[in-house]
Structure 1
Amino acid sequence: MSRTVTLVLVDADGRPLGALPPYDVPEPWWQEVGSIVDEARSRYGVDVAVLRLLTGDRPEPPGGHVAYLGQVTGPPAVPLTPATVDLTPHPLRAPYAEPGGPARSVAWATGELRRVGRAVTAVAQQRTWNLSAIWRLDGPGGSAWLKQVPPFFRHEAAVLRWLGAAAPTTAPTLLAADDTGRTLLDHVPGEDRYGADEAERAAVAADHHTVQLRAVEAADTLVAAGVPDLRGPALAGWIRDRLAPHDPTVVADLLAGLDDRLDRVRDCGLPDTLVHGDLHPGNVRGDGTRRTVIDWGDAFVGHPAFDILRLTETLAPPVAGRLREAWAARWRADVPGSDPQRAVELLRPVAELRLAAVYAMFLAGIEPSEHPYHHGDVPACLARAAAAT
């Protein structure tokens, strides 16, 4: 599966110029823009910064015919097709989705690298969507990654800062951060481990247990640094607030026993700690000698069982059962008298409710043109929560 792309161009001042002829790119996922930039350069000699999604001919990714807004420094030599595009400002538009935004962010990152003695010789835009914009910066001193996120993910820098001091090498090294959601990260060697087998997932779970044990005593410190506090009753209130705009009948039924269920979870005796929030193998990079957990924007302080549920959710029941039992055995050894397995079973539907609330938060915090990225996520999570209850 691939995508057909129409790139509507504006100049440095945001004035519309027209559209390049449609062309195909290999990756079907709408947020991946590296090949869009490369093909525009190789086909038409145009250097472009992709700003944001405009439209797609499908209700949600992947594939199809997708239009994006891109910025160039001046009119390209290739003839452009007239294009109608709504350039009205939107209060939820990300800074990196505005003309000039990518250039400002790259200039910040280049300056930060120069400050630590690392020259930048090449910059490549990799991704842009409602959850992040990402660029790779290369130079003689190695590669670094510029990541810029919306307000609901800005606590990632605080998490990385704490991990860098308390559990070095378990997460990307934070080189710099500012108060606009920009982080500059050192390169992590290896590949994203989407296809991780049982043994590799077991190793990830064991590594993560060590991190979570260290974070138990740091829970208040992390919350004070801006990491969301979803401990105990706070989680129920957080879920209710974010799901309030959605199907009231379905939501009311699913939330009816939430407080009682969380009380029973608390009786299982496990401590609150740092939770990654999206611990699937694609958020782990490995090079054969080490594993590094990336993308901590979903992190919060809460119950550790949420991460083992995410790590095992797509596995066959016998495999998932073995990994969860190993996880439970570690917690029983470190917290005598606790009942981790019961906590996992009680939190299974809550994990889906929390994910539904996360997607609802995304939808509430992004402009409508970006909604297709999460078109079916809230109802899908609510349906899984109902099935797990």
Structure 2
Amino acid sequence: MLTVDGRHVGTVPPFTVDSPWWNDVEPVTAHLDAVLGVPTSVLRLVSATGSGMRDGTVTYQVELAAAPDRLSTPDPSTGARHDFPDTPLRMPWARPGGPAALVAWAERSVTRTGPAVQVKTWNLSCLYRLPTDSGHVWAKEFPSFMADEAEVIALVAAVDPALVPQVLAAEPRRLLMAESPGADCWHPAPEVITDIVPRWVAVQAALAGPARLRVRGVDVPAFGLPHTLLHGDFHPGNWRSGGTVLDWGDAHWGHPALDAARLIDFAPAETRPLIERTWAEAWRRHRPDSDPERALDHARSAVHLVGALVYQEFLDNIEESERVYHAGDPERELALAQSRAVRTSSR
């Protein structure tokens, strides 16, 4: 559904893109830019079939920089006109002019040498890639209920600056970052695991102490390990093979075994023994009297309680049309927590 300044100007017939993920909008705007001949940006998801953030058929509200010559304004009498009433829960980047405002903010700090590319947008972030003379930079906007990523990155950088992206500019709910080297690590190589996991443990050991961020309210028996900074979504898809960890919006304070449990849940089965061993050995170097394995055993259930809280927070703070991204997630997480707790208690 195409809009200019929030006004519906037409609809593009369905088309197929290679990516199955609803929030992966780079191929969507690439197609629309070519078909319409004007720059486009996805504002938000209007509807979707299927579930789980992928596949099926989706409808987006898309903003055009200007009405293209080849598209006629719909006649209201035909019933083809659509209104897009605002809602208090709509994200700033999902409103008319929102994506352009993010790019304009980034351009106050860098000089763009080519088109800004909208890579992702949904209820948790809007992400643009901007080319510059010194390489790509990434502009990100995120909601107020997420952690302040610049603040979290600064905490980590004080211990290991190479573990986090370089921040070029920041303001509340916005972040401009230099590109992190390497590729995403959904299937991390052993050398990446043995690099990132001990470094993250070292950061957590250095930052251990009184809470400096929010506390989720889910605990794990200590077994000699301290409360510290948690990434909150420490799966390998948030790692870069160059040794950087991204996406710190879920950060909070708690037991470090929760991050390890999150990682192990997402990691390919063949890498899990190496992750568990590397994580436990790293913590024993910092806390020789600790029992990381027993803590991790309890965290396998508790991490799903955290997940239920997080997903419910998302649902409570996003507009109706985008709830499909997270619908049923709190219930699924609670079921997993119960299942894992039964397994732990039976040992």
Same fold (TM over 0.5): yes
Q: Aligned partners of 2:139, 2:267: CA distance in 1, in Å?
A: 33
Indicate yes or no: 2:228 matched with 1:273: yes
Q: Is the 8 A contact 2:236 2:267 kept in 1?
A: no
Indicate yes or no: 2:136 matched with 1:143: yes
User: Closer, same or farther in 2 for the Cα pair 1:42/1:140, shift >3 Å?
Assistant: same
Matched residue type, 1:142? G
User: Closer, same or farther in 2 for the Cα pair 1:144/1:317, shift >3 Å?
Assistant: closer
Q: Is the 8 A contact 2:8 2:83 kept in 1?
A: no
Partner of 1:259: none
Partner of 2:101: 104
Three-state SS of the structure 2 residue aligned to 1:265 is coil
Three-state SS of the structure 2 residue aligned to 1:166 is coil
Which runs of structure 2 are paired with 1:117-196 in the superposition (5 Å)?
A: 118-179=111-172, 181-196=173-188
Q: Aligned partners of 2:271, 2:247: CA distance in 1, in Å?
A: 25
Matched residue type, 1:110? E
2:262 to 301, 310, 313: 310
Q: TM-score, normalised by structure 1?
A: 0.81
Three-state SS of the structure 2 residue aligned to 1:313 is helix
User: Closer, same or farther in 2 for the Cα pair 1:285/1:303, shift >3 Å?
Assistant: same
Three-state SS of the structure 2 residue aligned to 1:384 is helix
Structure 2: where are the runs of 5+ without partners?
75-79, 342-347
Q: Is the 8 A contact 1:174 1:185 kept in 2?
A: yes
User: Closer, same or farther in 2 for the Cα pair 1:28/1:318, shift >3 Å?
Assistant: closer
Partner of 1:240: none
Indicate yes or no: 2:334 matched with 1:382: yes
Shift of 1:10: 1.3
Q: Aligned partners of 2:204, 2:164: CA distance in 1, in Å?
A: 13
Indicate yes or no: 2:45 matched with 1:93: no
Q: Is the 8 A contact 1:216 1:272 kept in 2?
A: yes
Q: Is the 8 A contact 1:51 1:71 kept in 2?
A: yes
Partner of 1:254: none
Shift of 1:197: 3.9
Which runs of structure 2 are paired with 1:14-93 in the superposition (5 Å)?
A: 14-79=6-71, 82=74, 83-93=80-90
User: Closer, same or farther in 2 for the Cα pair 1:315/1:11, shift >3 Å?
Assistant: closer
Matched residue type, 1:382? L
Structure 1: where are the runs of 5+ without partners?
1-7, 237-261
Q: How many residues align?
A: 336
Q: Aligned partners of 2:271, 2:147: CA distance in 1, in Å?
A: 35
Cα RMSD over matched residues?
Answer: 2.0
2:238 to 252, 269, 283: 283
User: Closer, same or farther in 2 for the Cα pair 1:140/1:319, shift >3 Å?
Assistant: closer
Q: Is the 8 A contact 2:23 2:122 kept in 1?
A: yes
Partner of 1:244: none
Matched residue type, 2:151? A
1:229 to 194, 200, 215: 215
User: Closer, same or farther in 2 for the Cα pair 1:187/1:319, shift >3 Å?
Assistant: closer
Three-state SS of the structure 2 residue aligned to 1:308 is helix
Shift of 1:345: 1.3
* 198-207 vs 67-76, which moves further: 198-207
Shift of 1:204: 2.3
Map Cα deviations across residues 54-83 of structure 1 (whole Å, 9 max, x no partner): 011224431222111111132212235844
Shift of 1:270: 0.9
User: Closer, same or farther in 2 for the Cα pair 1:384/1:202, shift >3 Å?
Assistant: farther
Map Cα deviations across residues 84-108 of structure 1 (whole Å, 9 max, x no partner): 4341111110000000111111111
Matched residue type, 2:165? P
* 30-39 vs 201-210, which moves further: 201-210
Q: Is the 8 A contact 1:201 1:311 kept in 2?
A: no
Partner of 2:200: 208
Three-state SS of the structure 1 residue aligned to 2:158 is helix
Q: Is the 8 A contact 1:164 1:174 kept in 2?
A: no
Shift of 1:119: 4.5
Q: Aligned partners of 1:126, 1:304: CA distance in 2, in Å?
A: 31
Bigger helix fraction: 1
Shift of 1:199: 4.5
Q: Is the 8 A contact 1:131 1:149 kept in 2?
A: yes
Matched residue type, 2:224? G
User: Closer, same or farther in 2 for the Cα pair 1:65/1:357, shift >3 Å?
Assistant: same
Matched residue type, 2:91? A
Partner of 2:344: none
Q: TM-score, normalised by structure 2?
A: 0.90
User: Closer, same or farther in 2 for the Cα pair 1:59/1:318, shift >3 Å?
Assistant: closer
